[in-house]
Structure 1
Amino acid sequence: METLIGEFITLCMMAFALGMDAFSVGLGMGLIRLRFKQIFYIGLTIGLFHIFMPLFGLWLGRFLSQQFGAIASYIGGLLLLILGGQMIVSSFKKDDEPFISPLGIGLLFFALSVSLDSFSVGLSLGIYGARTVLTIMLFGLFSMMLTWTGLLLGRRFQQWLGVYSEVLGGSILFAFGMKLLCPF
């Protein structure tokens, strides 16, 4: 029983750590004017990606982790740079539609970019059976809840910061993109 509790606590800590990226990026994304319905779908989508990405990683195996991990980080970093830059530019041009928005295909790219690390963790877990189900469910739950928290906090800060909130949000996303591209 102690082993099961210890494993559960360890998995919760891993899920929390993986969800912190989603929280941080959600905080930046929340600075855009989003409706509660959009916030709900963004959190749900990111939660689902944090379920399917590690599951897909488990299936793909450790061999591809080393080759695909670096490429995935660069793609995710580039997407965050584009999204962050677009937010900064659009804050100065209020008439333009965003290049990437957290809707439709933009939401899928956004969810993919914040769930790439869970793909890498999934590649290295190597466990099967009930533990796999517990792991991916915790990853999904924690990332969804942390994304919602980040988006709602960002939304709250957006009301306080006014016009500068998009610049701040874009800067946060841009910084995370740079972190993925230049990890040193």
Structure 2
Amino acid sequence: MGLIELFILAVGLSMDAFAVSICKGLSLRKVTFKECGKVGLYFGGFQGGMPLIGFILGVQFKDYITSIDHWIAFILLSFIGINMIRESMEKDEDCGIVDLTEAAVGEEEINQLGFKNMVMLAIATSIDALAVGVTFAFLQVEIIPAVSFIAIVTFILSGIGVKIGNVFGTKYKSKAEFAGGAILILMGIKILLEHLGFFPFS
């Protein structure tokens, strides 16, 4: 898997985190580099860690299913992508944000970026990356550079998402999830077609 392919995959994977980051930005009155960095670290860290776990698990079975590894990669990426597209079409544009009294706003903002809240969201948005890590094992991807790249891309896009949400609201949330799903499906199709010999020069 080349650098361009890895970048496209990283962008696709990070779209869930990007969408949730937009919601986080919407829930905050003021967004600084600190808030952007904090959200980016949570999402980027988990988005990079989950593929590593998936890779370790996938290596255990790689030798037994080499003949169908590309089909597994195609099925996993397509399933993840379809699920992301389905979620993008659900009517959840309010992100669960509720009106608060002025006295409660400060405490609510703390809770929004609190450890428990952020860890739960980071895990939820990176489960897909766990499955992608399994495909990395089948495709013999150099895992450390790959997960580092994914973590950095997610960190940057999540930080940007917080700012976008704070400024523009949820305008781009569904579009991001839809685009991410489409990217993962296309990557799965490309991997399968390469295995079947349709891209002999890739």
TM-score by length of 1: 0.63
Correspondence for 1:136 = 147
Correspondence for 1:162 = none
Correspondence for 1:104 = 115
Aligned-residue RMSD, C-alpha:
3.5
Report Cα offsets for 1:84-109 as digits up to 9, x if no partner.
43x2x3x2555555496221111111
CA distance in 1, matches of 2:102, 2:57: 44
CA distance in 1, matches of 2:100, 2:42: 29
| Conserved 8 A contact 1:26-1:154 | yes
Correspondence for 2:166 = 155
Q: Which runs of 5+ in 1 are unaligned?
A: 1-5, 158-164, 177-184
* 1:9-158 pair list within 5 angstroms: 9-33=4-28, 34-36=30-32, 37-61=34-58, 84-85=95-96, 87=97, 89=98, 91=99, 96=104, 97-98=107-108, 101-126=112-137, 131-157=142-168
- SS state at 1:126 partner: helix
The structure whose residues are more often helix, as a share, is 1
Aligned partner letter, 1:43? G
- SS state at 1:21 partner: helix
CA distance in 1, matches of 2:56, 2:108: 36
CA distance in 2, matches of 1:11, 1:25: 22
Deviation of the 1:44 alpha carbon: 1.2
| Conserved 8 A contact 1:15-1:142 | yes
CA distance in 1, matches of 2:134, 2:108: 34
Q: Which runs of 5+ in 2 are unaligned?
A: 62-71, 178-202
TM-score by length of 2: 0.58
CA distance in 1, matches of 2:8, 2:141: 18
Moved over 6 A (4+): none
Report Cα offsets for 1:114-139 as digits up to 9, x if no partner.
11111111122116988111110111
Greater Rg over alpha carbons, structure = 2
> Percent same amino acid at aligned positions?
24
